[in-house]
């Protein structure tokens, strides 16, 4: 692929922000500010801007915590991207996960997809009360939070060189 | 004058914290690397202060917090709710910008679960 192909690819899919590589909290702090500026320039309502930022942070922190490509203990490798859609914004994350995480994510996301907004709220509050599942490094609330803030979300897994890639996208409508 | 005070400046990802005389103010954003670490740096002082007083007022204005912080906040409110149950006068004022649906809804989620303390949701334009 030529460098210009890469440029054209991002332009064609209307990606206005993309980070790919090692992510750790310091990197996230640094890119958060430029992301904020990037979102502000998109002429989007404040409340939508906040949702976009929130989903981006949850996706990025999931990469930091759960990516199985780990150059150091506190660093996970992955890609996060924001793109325009005809009537909204797409927030995507891609990272390698363990088979165990893949099963958990698949099960949770399918479950969340079957829920109504009211049911998602109930699940969120139950999780707040009861605390995280045993294998969660966070509060176990992140996926529910993203499901609540997205209008639609999709996920799939891809096998690549004996690795399992988790591809997750959330769309927020204007 | 109680013996427990906090004056913590905001960082890029943690809020400003002010505590004196049974009044706690939290303002900013909260999505730290390790919320347990951040909580550990402020909660012992806050809970000691709560033990000393009969009236405790909290003013919280957050613009964004991540899902790990939501759990930390919930646990904190439960502590306050227990204190209110034991007879203390506890007020939480949850402030949000007029157009900030996310923070308004987050406040409502917390408020619904608290039984003994006074939890006020207040629009607050800067």
Q: φ and ψ at A85, to 5 degrees?
A: -125, 165
Domain contains B17: no
On the CB side of A67, CA atoms within 13 Å amount to 28
Distance CA A49, CA B16 (A): 23
Domain contains B102: yes
What integer pLDDT is reported at residue B82 of this predicted model?
97
Q: Which residues of chain B lie closer than 8 angstroms to A61, CB-CB?
A: 31, 66, 68
For chain B, how big is the Rg over CA atoms in Å?
14
Q: How far is B26 from chain A (nearest CA, A)?
A: 19
- Report residue A134's pLDDT band, with 50, 70 and 90 as the boundaries: low
Domain contains B38: yes
Helix H or strand E segment including A82: strand A76-85
| Contact between B31 and A57 using a beta-carbon 8 Å cutoff | yes
pLDDT tens-place string over residues A12-42: 999 999 999 999 999 999 999 889 888 888 8
Q: What's the domain count of chain B?
A: 1
What integer pLDDT is reported at residue B105 of this predicted model?
93
B interface residues, A as partner, C-beta within 8 Å:
12-13, 31, 33, 63-64, 66-68, 70-72, 74, 99-102, 109, 112-113
* Residue A138 in this model has a pLDDT that exceeds 70: no
For chain A, which domains are there?
A: 21-173 (3.30.565.10)
| Contact between B102 and A32 using a beta-carbon 8 Å cutoff | no
* Coil, strand or helix at A142: helix
Q: How far is A163 from chain B (nearest CA, A)?
A: 27
Q: Which domain holds residue B78?
A: 32-123
Question: Residue A129: closest CA among chain B residues belongs to which residue?
Answer: B74
| Contact between B12 and A29 using a beta-carbon 8 Å cutoff | yes
Q: How far is B119 from chain A (nearest CA, A)?
A: 17
* Residue A54 in this model has a pLDDT that exceeds 80: yes
Q: φ and ψ at B107, to 5 degrees?
A: -65, -40
Domain contains B79: yes
Question: Residue B36: closest CA among chain A residues belongs to which residue?
Answer: A138
pLDDT tens-place string over residues A83-107: 999 999 999 999 999 999 999 999 9
Q: Which residues of chain B lie closer than 8 angstroms to A124, CB-CB?
A: 109
What integer pLDDT is reported at residue A43 of this predicted model?
84
- Please compute the mean of the pLDDT values over residues A126-148 and round it to a whole number: 81
Q: What is the mean pLDDT of chain A?
A: 92
Q: Which residues of chain B lie closer than 8 angstroms to A51, CB-CB?
A: 102
Q: How far is B1 from chain A (nearest CA, A)?
A: 34
Domain contains B15: no
Q: Which pLDDT tens digits describe chain B residue by residue (126 residues)?
A: 567 899 999 999 999 999 998 999 999 999 987 899 999 999 999 999 999 999 999 999 999 999 989 999 999 999 999 999 999 999 999 999 998 989 999 999 999 999 999 999 999 998
Q: Which residues of chain A lie closer than 8 angstroms to B70, CB-CB?
A: 128, 139, 141, 145
* Residue A8 in this model has a pLDDT that exceeds 60: yes
* Coil, strand or helix at A154: strand
- Report residue A162's pLDDT band, with 50, 70 and 90 as the boundaries: confident
Chains A, B: CB pairs < 8 Å: 61
Cβ contact A65:A83 at 8 Å? no
């Amino acid at each position: 692929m030529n460098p210009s192909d890469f440029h054209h690819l991002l332009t064609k899919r209307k990606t206005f922000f993309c980070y790919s590589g090692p992510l750790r909290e310091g990197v996230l702090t640094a890119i958060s500010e430029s992301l904020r500026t990037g979102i502000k320039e998109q002429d989007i309502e404040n409340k939508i801007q906040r949702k976009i930022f929130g989903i981006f942070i949850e996706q990025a922190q999931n990469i930091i915590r759960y990516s199985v490509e780990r150059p150091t203990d506190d660093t996970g490798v992955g890609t996060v991207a924001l793109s325009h859609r005809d009537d909204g914004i797409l927030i995507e994350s891609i990272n390698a996960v363990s088979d165990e995480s893949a099963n958990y994510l698949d099960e949770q996301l399918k479950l969340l997809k079957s829920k109504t907004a009211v049911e998602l709220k109930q699940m969120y509050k139950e999780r707040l009360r009861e605390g995280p599942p045993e294998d969660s490094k966070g509060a176990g609330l992140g996926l529910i939070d993203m499901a609540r803030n997205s209008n639609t979300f999709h996920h799939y897994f891809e096998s690549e060189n004996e690795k399992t890639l988790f591809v997750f996208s959330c769309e927020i409508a204007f | 004058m109680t013996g427990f005070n906090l004056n913590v400046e905001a960082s890029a990802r943690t809020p400003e914290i002010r505590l004196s005389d049974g009044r706690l103010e939290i303002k900013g954003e909260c999505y730290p690397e390790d919320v347990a670490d951040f909580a550990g740096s402020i909660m012992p002082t806050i809970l000691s202060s709560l033990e000393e007083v009969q009236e405790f007022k909290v003013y919280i204005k957050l613009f964004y917090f991540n899902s790990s912080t939501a759990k930390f906040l919930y646990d904190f409110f439960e502590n306050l709710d227990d204190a209110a149950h034991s007879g203390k006068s506890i007020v939480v004022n949850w402030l949000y910008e007029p157009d900030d649906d996310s923070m308004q809804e987050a406040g409502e989620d917390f408020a619904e679960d608290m039984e003994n303390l006074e939890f006020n949701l207040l629009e607050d334009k800067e």
